[in-house]
Amino acid sequence: MGWALVAAAEPHHRKGWLKRFDPRFWTVDFARPMMASVTSDAPGALRVEAVFYRKQDLAGLIWEAEDRWDHPLLAYETKRDFRHTQLKFRWRSGGIKPLDALHGPTLTIEGRDAAGNPRAWYIRLWNYAVGTGEDAVVTLDFDSLNGGFLLPGEADPVWAGDIDRMFISLVPPDYDGGDAVLAAPGAGWAEMSAIAVSGSGSVLAIGDVVMPEHGLGIASGYDDSYHLTPARLVRQVVQLGYRGDIVHYVGMSHYMRLEAVGDSFHTSVAGGALNAPCAAWHAAFAAACRDAGLGVIWSLSYELFDAYCPADWKQRDAEGAPALTGWEPPSTLLSPANAAAMGYLQLVARAFVGIAVAAGLPLKFQVGEPWWWIAAGGRICAYDAATTAALGSASVAIADVRGALGAAQLAMLDALGVLLAGSTAALVAAARDEAGAAGLVSHLLVYLPTVLDPAAPAVRRANVPLGWAAPAFDVLQLEDYDWATGGRGAETAGARAAMVLRLGYPIEDQHYFSGFVPRAEDRAQWAAIADAADRARRAGLARAFVWALPQVARDGFVTFDGEGAVQAFDAVDFPLAIGREAMVATEFSTQIVSSPSGHEQRASEWAEARMRYDAGPGIRSEDDVRLLADFFRARRGAARAFRFRDPFDGSSAADGGLPAAGDQMLGIGDGVRRQFALVKRYGAGDAEQVRRVALPVEGSVRVSVDGLEIAAFLVTDEGEVLLDAAPAPGVAVRAGFLFDVPVRFADDRLEVSRATFLAGELASVPLIEVRAPW
């Protein structure tokens, strides 16, 4: 699998043309607790749904000059000059301030004036409308727009040559700018239809790259994408080459209905589990996925925005503190023992399955990361009132789950596992019941670094309950992004084996989630994420997903298949007897530009040398010829790579002799990292070259930690050392080893003449090093 990060679109990338103000590319935003969404289901039209809870609530329908949300290969061009552009549309609305009212829909334009000074203009749309306050045709000519409430007396001419963004404000009918709570939640909507854009400034270039279909799946989440249209999201998925099912996390902060409770707002099911904007968005999303040939795995977790969660629904530690995640603001975890909380999740599951039924999608549902939260210091959050009541005498004190636990404490963890498994079974049963005769495929998502924390091995009793064993779910989905991006990817194979042993799901009934990269400054972590996904595919898992689409778009991550065939590798040795006599060449690639005066500029194109060999000198007999021909055919000429022992450089030892445990420095411990790549170093100081060794000889690897040789390690399939325990901070990890080089035949033709061979002439059998296919 190949991959790349595209920082920006290049001139050679495929482009198309887009009318400015295309309905698919508007966004919405607002302040909590209100909710709004925008969809673009009909040509030339968009619709905003909103629900208001306070008199000061305001939603903005936004057009940005810079596309900050699409993948660089698919984004529209940044063009801040809006002059010579005319926009015309029909406006219809209900449940919001009408066009002709004070605080009615206002177009705010943010940018700079002709002198370059930051400015904002406020254009009352009613001044450019013909019709009624709730049904009118609005015409905007950006060359002659004026801000101000009354025209012409309060006219404030707009300079449209340098605009960053513009947005139309939508407020409830009782809007007064105060923070008073509305007597009842207010539903509002607005439509722009028959959108027509004209003028020489009305056209934008847009990226139109279509990546070939590849084997990776994509995941996304509503909390990250609520402000975009579903059509915009699905366009990216399809054109980036993702197919099959999208894993769609329905989120923890935007789908719920709310009701006022004092000065706060809590989840409510009055009128249904989902708020109207969320329901409309997901109906459009499901339809867009169906039309694009995509499926949806609807993912629902036990996580809920803390500010919206009733106090008695929350998991709590022994001191009564709620389980809080590291997000800002935080989310909390629902107690599996709380009947009201679990009943609420079941209603939410039914609502999303119902949306899938209405769209005609295959019905697939995921229980996402259900667990008992472990807070700082090993404090398990299993002491909320509902859990304590459910456990009765089995509820005992556990100060730190990482310590030595007694029989009663272990029994409590087992009982917590029973509660967790029972709650997930009831949740899946509710989803199945909603699916009806159509049937439903159930999925369970487990986060390995927490449930299989080696510092707290007993926690798996509670967080990987035996009640989850196959066939409780149809598919087991595993994720471990902290391991993948933290240099601990080799731990996944052992953790996966532990999950198979405990739950019994075969590899063909497993999925893997690779990623994610929360911060743009950490985009280099995509290398580890791509490697982890590739390892999962090579291990035979049914599906590997990248988490998540917003980060993929932000960082320009693209992936493509095809390199597998080019980089095909057979883990077999070139016949050693022949290879020992090979001629060896070490090569670099350097671009050299010479000036007329004789001065040069040199640029090294390769970070590492590439080796070439000629194995011809090792052919000494007709038996050797037959052995070589047989090996050549099995490799299909140059198609498949293989292992080759360099006769001069196949050991970590400086003299090429037997390896010792202290030969090569692999790295310095940090108290967490257990995985270290094998390397061989050449030269010293600024001129030092570090060669990655991917093919150590089996049984030859010796490892030392802090100068002492150890046996507590294994060598991964990728040729890296995985220590049983993480070295302490500042401790040196070194290793010695024999190693092979991945090579292929340089040609698809092998020519050996009996006449020349018997005359003592050497055959030529050129081999060339390839980069390791992992």
Greater pLDDT, 718 or 160: 160
Q: CB–CB of 176/55 below 8 Å?
A: yes
Amino acid identity, position 446: V
**Does residue 762 surpass a pLDDT of 70?**
no
Residue in the structure block whose two tokens are 């004190």: 397
- Binning pLDDT at 50, 70 and 90, where does residue 564 land? very low
Cα dihedral across residues 467, 468, 471, 474: positive or negative: positive
Measured from the Cβ of residue 626, the count of other Cβ atoms closer than 10 Å reads 11
pLDDT at 156: 96
pLDDT tens-digit map of 447-466: 999 999 888 999 999 999 99
Mean pLDDT of the region 55-74: 97
- Binning pLDDT at 50, 70 and 90, where does residue 565 land? very low
Q: Indicate the range of 66-75, 153-162, 402-411, 603-612 predicted with least confidence.
A: 603-612
Instruction: Say how far apart CA 430 and CA 365 lie, in whole Å.
Output: 11
Maximum Cα–Cα distance for the chain, whole Å? Answer: 106
pLDDT tens-digit map of 577-611: 778 888 888 888 777 777 777 778 776 666 678 89
- β-pair type (689-692, 257-261): unpaired
Q: CB–CB of 313/343 below 8 Å?
A: no
Take residue 157 and report the two structure tokens written for it. Answer: 């001419």
pLDDT tens-digit map of 682-701: 988 877 888 999 999 999 99
**Does residue 756 surpass a pLDDT of 70?**
no
Q: How far is CA 640 from the centre of its chain?
A: 32
- Find the radius of gyration of the CA atoms of the chain: 31
Take residue 322 and report the two structure tokens written for it. Answer: 């709620």
Mean pLDDT of the region 241-266: 95
Beta-sheet strands, E only, within 633-678 = 641-644, 664-668, 675-677
361 by Cβ neighbours in 10 Å (0-12 / 13-18 / 19+) ranks as: buried
Instruction: Say how far apart CA 251 and CA 231 lie, in whole Å.
Output: 19
pLDDT tens-digit map of 126-149: 999 999 999 999 999 999 999 999
Instruction: Say how far apart CA 46 and CA 555 lie, in whole Å.
Output: 28
Instruction: Say how far apart CA 723 and CA 711 lie, in whole Å.
Output: 9
Take residue 650 and report the two structure tokens written for it. Answer: 């196949």
**Does residue 671 surpass a pLDDT of 50?**
yes
Q: CB–CB of 747/616 below 8 Å?
A: no
pLDDT at 351: 98
pLDDT tens-digit map of 607-626: 678 899 998 888 878 888 88
Beta-sheet strands, E only, within 457-579 = 475-479, 510-514, 543-547, 557-560, 569-573
pLDDT at 601: 74
CA angle 656-662-664, nearest 5°? 65
Q: CB–CB of 357/290 below 8 Å?
A: no
Q: CB–CB of 225/233 below 8 Å?
A: yes
**Does residue 99 surpass a pLDDT of 70?**
yes
- Binning pLDDT at 50, 70 and 90, where does residue 485 land? confident
Take residue 212 and report the two structure tokens written for it. Answer: 């070939």
Phi-psi category of 278—alpha, beta or left, where left has phi over 0 and alpha has psi -120 to 50? Answer: alpha
pLDDT tens-digit map of 225-244: 999 999 999 999 999 999 99
Which stretches of 396-520 are DSSP H helices? 407-435, 448-451, 460-463, 481-485, 491-503
Greater pLDDT, 494 or 81: 81
pLDDT at 774: 55
pLDDT tens-digit map of 371-384: 999 999 999 999 99
pLDDT at 764: 85
Q: What contacts 507, CB < 8 A, 6 or more positions away? A: 500, 539, 540, 541, 542
Phi first, then psi, for residue 45 (nearest 5°) are -145, 155
Q: Please state at what angle helix 276-291 crosses helix 339-359, rounded to 10 degrees.
A: 40
Which residues face 612 on adjacent strands?
585, 768
To the nearest whole percent, how much of the chain has pLDDT over 70?
Answer: 97
CA dihedral 546, 550, 555, 559 (to 10 degrees): 30
pLDDT at 608: 76
Take residue 27 and report the two structure tokens written for it. Answer: 């966004």
Q: What contacts 121, CB < 8 A, 6 or more positions away? A: 108, 109, 145, 147, 156, 158
pLDDT tens-digit map of 497-555: 999 999 999 999 999 999 789 899 999 899 899 989 988 988 899 999 999 999 999 99
pLDDT at 769: 92
Nearest to 332 by CA among 351, 355, 310: 310
Residue 411 per-residue DSSP state? H
Range 593-620 burial, b when 16+ CB lie within 10 A, else e? eeeeeeeeeeeeeeeeebbbbbbbebbe
The rounded mean pLDDT for the chain is 92
